[in-house]
Amino acid sequence: MRKLIYVPIVHSEVDFGSLTHNLRKRYIDRFGLSVWRQRVKGVDALWQEIRTKVMALEIDFHKIKVYQDGLPVCGRELEIVQDLARQGSKNHQLLVELAERGATIMGTEDAQLLVEEYLRLRDGLDADSETGDRVTPGEDLLHRRDLYVAKRIRETLRDGETGILFIGLLHEVDEKLCQDMEISYPLREGEEEIEDKG
């Protein structure tokens, strides 16, 4: 049986690349500087908890495939991860640490869908839904990204292998995975941690 360790994440400033300045400004304009600073501290604390839990897993990292929200299938995955780690991304610093312990970093997302997401964020779409549509363009895009990530995991994670998926809180990739995959949620304390999709 295939196993997937499902790790919900929150993106830090660095993870947004060239969008960081505008997103920070929008956030501060809407909620204030002190709330922004609290968010940054909260995200840092969450990443410390994620790192602690992941590094405490009793697994052979040489046999692990790591899937990452926002990491395109492109042949330069490790280079991208290392670059973001150098820029200060706690998420990508953890991925580098996992790779140094033998884990394989996997391209996870469709590059074209990531470009769509970048443009949506850059242009501030969905900030105020004026269309009255039940599903916003951002929700539809998130759904398409989730379908792609689930397909990518199904196609690359073999029977007997274990993967770790670092994925944003709004994603629902776990709901789109096949029946022959055991999913564990190590960050859920006090809850049942393993969901057998079979």
User: How does the average pLDDT of the chain come out, rounded?
Assistant: 88
Q: Is the pLDDT of residue 132 over 60?
A: no
The whole-model pTM stands at: 0.87
Q: Who wins on pLDDT, 130 or 55? A: 55
* pLDDT computed for residue 192 by the predictor: 44
Instruction: State the Cα–Cα distance between residues 5 and 167, nearest whole angstrom.
Output: 11
Instruction: State the Cα–Cα distance between residues 65 and 45, nearest whole angstrom.
Output: 25
Q: Is the pLDDT of residue 86 over 60?
A: yes
Predicted confidence band of residue 127 (pLDDT cuts 50, 70, 90) = low
Q: In what order do the strands lie in the sheet with 104-106?
A: 104-106, 64-68, 162-168, 2-9, 181-184, 194-196
* pLDDT computed for residue 135 by the predictor: 54
Residue pair 173/165 in contact (Cβ under 8 Å)? The answer is yes
Average pLDDT estimate for 137-144: 91
Q: Who wins on pLDDT, 180 or 142? A: 142
Tell me the CA distances in angstroms from 179 to 108, 174, 176, 183, 188, one per residue in order. Answer: 20, 11, 9, 10, 21
Average pLDDT estimate for 165-179: 92
